């Protein structure tokens, strides 16, 4: 694991105090694992116990400091940053499910918007936090007539989840401009990889069905175009950005798109998954999801030119590793 997830300068993480919010999520679990492998002293803010998350099942939990609490608890965050002498903050905690956001917009805004300003205000008050990375999303751009999204594309979310990410993104940029906080924003497409147990999502649900010999279901007509980013490529992006921020203070306030730059329709992604699993099962296409944005994908040229980041694994290798993880996980249940 440590070899294939190595970043450009792993030595900078040795004994570095790092706070990760959202550690029980897909990206969070992999990021914590990578930081531990590099020798960082990792502190994780955890709200709920998620027994099957990668954070708890891949042997990293006993090697980090765990603090239980809410992302909106500013006194708690200030205590954590002070007591653990945190230098680097990765703010990943969020309510990430679009259907949940549609049903419970206020709770989503509380977590994604208030949670972000709470983290940033705690970082602003800390005399030792050096860099903060805030996770936004390609959904922050909303629906656009010109694609791919670049970092200069206006943030134009309209649905509750999109708006929550647009707001969090803008708040981070505001803290950089108004207070000089050394914060950057990441905008990524749809993460996939082993450890994602939200079965309503495309990749986990499809993997479970294919491995069980069932036909997976597509809620839309299959033509929706999206960016997909394998989680280990995502981890390398977050690490590379934070490392660059340690040496380039002029990055403050910038947002970076991270993408494979290989947009796929849902049906194309489904085809890749059947190949990764090694089966020939046709999906059931329901033809719904009429309210979803037809096409979303990112331009990552700034990440390539300014950070030197490129994905190392991509969809094909990423899905093979993902299929292997789900095969092992489902056998163990």
Count of Cβ atoms closer than 10 Å to residue 69 Cβ? 14
What radius of gyration do the chain's Cα atoms show? 19
Q: Residues 157, 165: contact at Cβ < 8 Å?
A: yes
How deeply is 27 buried, as exposed, middle or buried, from its count of CB atoms within 10 A (0-12, 13-18, 19+)?
Answer: buried
Counts for the chain of helices (H) and strands (E), in that order? 12, 13
CA distance 155 to 175: 17
Among all residues, which ones are annotated catalytic? 161
Three-state secondary structure of 74-96:
HHHHHHHHHHCCCCEEEECCCCC
> By three-state DSSP, how is residue 118 classified?
helix
Token output for 73: 């608890």
144 contacts: CB under 8 Å, gap ≥ 6: 153, 154, 156
- Give exposure, 179-193, as e/b (b: 16+ Cβ within 10 Å): eebbbbbbbbbbbbb
Count Cβ atoms within 10 A of the Cβ of residue 328 and give its class: 0-12 exposed, 13-18 middle, 19 or more buried.
exposed
Dist. CA 81–CA 21, nearest whole Å: 12
Question: Do 220 and 289 touch, CB atoms closer than 8 A?
Answer: yes
Query: Are 56 and 32 contacting, i.e. CB atoms less than 8 angstroms apart?
Result: no
d(CA 255, CA 185): 4
């Amino acid at each position: 694991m440590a070899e294939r997830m190595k970043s450009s300068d792993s030595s900078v993480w040795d004994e570095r105090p790092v706070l990760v919010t959202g550690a029980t999520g897909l990206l969070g679990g992999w990021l914590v694992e990578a930081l531990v492998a590099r020798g960082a002293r990792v502190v994780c803010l955890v709200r709920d116990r998620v027994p099957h998350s990668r954070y708890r099942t891949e042997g990293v939990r006993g090697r980090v400091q765990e603090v239980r609490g809410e992302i909106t608890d500013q006194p708690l965050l200030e205590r954590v940053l002070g007591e653990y002498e945190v230098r680097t903050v990765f703010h990943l905690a969020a309510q990430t499910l679009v259907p949940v956001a549609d049903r419970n917009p206020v709770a989503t805004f509380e977590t994604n918007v208030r949670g972000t300003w709470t983290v940033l205000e705690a970082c602003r008050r800390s005399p030792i936090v050096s860099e903060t990375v805030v996770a936004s999303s390609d959904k922050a751009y909303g629906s656009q007539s010109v694609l791919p999204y670049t970092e200069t594309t206006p943030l134009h979310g309209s649905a509750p989840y999109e708006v929550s990410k647009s707001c969090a993104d803008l708040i981070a940029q505001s803290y950089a401009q108004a207070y000089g906080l050394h914060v950057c924003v990441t905008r990524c497409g749809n993460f996939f990889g082993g450890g994602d147990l939200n079965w309503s999502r495309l990749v986990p649900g499809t993997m479970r069905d294919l491995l069980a010999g069932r036909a997976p279901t597509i809620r839309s007509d299959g033509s929706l175009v999206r960016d997909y980013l394998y989680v280990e490529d995502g981890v390398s992006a977050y690490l590379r950005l934070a490392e660059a921020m340690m040496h380039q203070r002029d990055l403050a306030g910038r947002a970076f798109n991270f993408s494979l730059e290989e947009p796929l329709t849902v049906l194309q992604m489904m085809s890749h998954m059947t190949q990764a699993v090694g089966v020939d099962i046709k999906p059931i296409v329901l033809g719904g999801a009429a309210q979803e944005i037809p096409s979303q994908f990112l331009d990552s040229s700034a990440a390539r030119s300014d950070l030197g980041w490129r994905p190392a694994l991509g969809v094909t290798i990423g899905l093979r590793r993902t299929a292997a993880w789900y095969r092992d996980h489902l056998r163990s249940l």
